[in-house]
Amino acid sequence: MRTYLTAQCSTLLKLYFAGCYIVLIEELIRATLS
């Protein structure tokens, strides 16, 4: 059970960081285009 929770946590963290990364890239693209 503990390993399952840890795996779930790391997956959520990866998704969170990926989302932040995508938002940052979009902001950079908008700044470059405008």
Q: Is 18 left (phi over 0), alpha (psi -120 to 50) or beta?
A: alpha
Q: What is the pLDDT of residue 27?
A: 98
pLDDT at position 1 is 67
Whether the predicted model's global pTM rises above the 0.85 cut = no
Give residue 16's pLDDT.
96
- pLDDT tens for 1-34 read 688 888 888 999 999 999 999 999 999 999 999 8
Euclidean distance between CA atoms 23 and 17, whole angstroms:
10
Instruction: Report the pLDDT value the prediction gives residue 21, as an integer from 0 to 100.
Output: 98
